[in-house]
Amino acid sequence: MIKHFAHSAVGGIGSKIITLICFIALGRLLSPHDFGIFAIVAIFSDFASIFVEFGTGAAIVYYKNADHVFHSTALWINVIVGLLFSLLLFISSELIAAYFNSSEVIIVAKAISVLFILNGLSVTPIAILQKKKLFDKISKIEILSTSFGFLIAIIIAVCGGGVWSLAFNVLCASALRTYLAFKYTNWSPNIILDKKSFFIIWDYSKFIIFSKTFNYFTKNADKFIIGKYFGPSPLGAYKYGFTIASMPMQFLNTVANRVFFADYAEKINDKAYIKNIHLKSVRLVSFITFPMMIGLSIVSDVLILALLGDKWNQMALYLSYLSISFLLGTVAILNQPLYLSFGKTKLQFKVTVFCRFNVLLCVVVGAYFGEIIGLLYGLIIARIINFYPSFYFAGKLVDLSIMDYLKNFYRILFCSLCMAVVVYFIKSVKLLDFSNIIVSIILVLSGIIFYSFFSFIFQSNNCREFISIFNSSLNRK
């Protein structure tokens, strides 16, 4: 299990580090307006991706007896749906541009439309690798495709391509990901659409699709509001900050869930094992992400000025709030494999509807009374409200209570808050005439040192466990 997580983590962490470095480079080369135009297109491409994937990847991993016919049917479902949404986005690009009052969106949306066909082709071979637990191959695919996409993007940005650098980033990365997925799987589909396989996939994945669809509309309400009423530049700053703040959660979604889902589905009859691994994963993830997210909220203004310059000042403010809003989300994402492995996709859908409705309500009310800052407060309040249902229903599947979760990470949260107080005090002291880069380094190092100090005093067991897991991962590579 640790070996699989380590292999998957290499790809996940590697691709996220590459993404962050290249985002910083693109942030210096492009403007918030460029990111805003692409963010408008991304709102709709993200929606299409829900249907293009169709839940086939999860179904392939879940069903132990899935054969070549099943796999081929899954692939052609993805391709057909991808083709339909490619045509839909191409045709509706002018309507999207009219809604957001931006003619630049039209040509970018039409170019991006081909992305759905490419993404549809890669779902099945990636799922096959996941089911076989070939996470080292998936890691290679992630790192190589991410690197290639950003290399093309930076070249185009340097040549003055503007928003096109962002468009070609996702297109080139997706094309290479699809090619490598088939290469490493060494699998080719038959031209077949089996009726029985289709309904098996649909029966399992329908609530995943419903859940993701509802989640999409509520999750993107903030971007709709900002893009429509405040324009591309504020949206670009917000989306950029959102991307950075959500990176830990995205990493966990693509790495931890991939590993835990495959492992849980294989050992579905051993509830005690799943419960133990789930608690350990929550503890490990919170040990890393809690201080990271809280620390980022404290130092975001200095850090963004150092890395991106004054033109991203607005994003620094948004990032501070967004980091806090994603704090519990980094742990809650680990509940998803429980729903999937126990086949409780309908329950997951119900919980998602309830939680996302709270987010939608808080975001709309917050934006009405306080514009973008009010919207950000709404996100934080919604996350706090959703803590109970998010953990209560998932925990019941393995006999865990809310108190079990709280006992599992309350010391970690306490040490993270202590660290934040010290870092905030250091930040408030005038550090002579040091540059923003030097101040950022001082603050980040202070956070690491003081979090380690408080951890060894108040949560020595967690420290020993983390060090043990880290050493085991290195020894198994």
pLDDT tens per residue, range 450-463: 999 999 999 888 78
Supply the range of the domain harboring residue 176. Answer: 2-476
Rounded average pLDDT over 158-187: 92
Q: Which residues of 334-371 are buried (b: 16+ CB within 10 A; e: fewer)?
A: bbbbbbbbbebbebbbebbeebbebbbbbbbbbbeeee
pLDDT at residue 231, rounded to an integer = 85
Please tell me the least confidently modeled range out of 104-118, 171-185, 236-250: 236-250
Q: Is 80 exceeded by the pLDDT of residue 210?
A: no
What is the pLDDT at residue 403? 92
Global pTM reads: 0.75
Is pLDDT at 476 greater than 60 in this prediction?
Answer: no
pLDDT in tens, 214-260: 777 777 888 888 988 888 889 888 988 888 888 777 766 666 656 67
Helix ranges restricted to H, 255-386: 256-266, 271-307, 313-325, 329-332, 336-341, 345-385
Residue type, 211: S
Please name the residue that has the structure tokens 């970018």: 108
Cα separation, 364 vs 220, in Å, equals 11
Amino acid at 301: D
Residue 455 backbone class (left: φ over 0; alpha: ψ -120 to 50; beta: rest): alpha
| Listed range (7-11, 211-215, 334-338, 371-375) with the worst mean pLDDT | 7-11
Q: How many domains, the chain? A: 1
CB count within 10 Å of CB 247 equals: 18
Range with top average pLDDT, 36-50, 110-124, 199-213: 110-124
CB-based burial label for 231 (10 Å; 0-12, 13-18, 19+) = middle
Tokens of 465: 């466990």
- CB atoms closer than 10 angstroms to residue 379: 19
- CA separation, residue 223 to residues 110, 210, 235, 446 (Å): 20, 21, 7, 34
Range 387-408 average pLDDT: 90
pLDDT band at 2 (very low <50, low <70, confident <90, very high): very low
pLDDT confidence band for 169 (50 / 70 / 90): very high
Sorted by sequence, the CB contacts under 8 Å of residue 443 that are 6+ apart come out as: 298, 299, 302, 303, 423, 426, 427
Average pLDDT over residues 257-266: 66
d(CA 171, CA 161): 15
DSSP state for residue 397 in the 8-state scheme: T
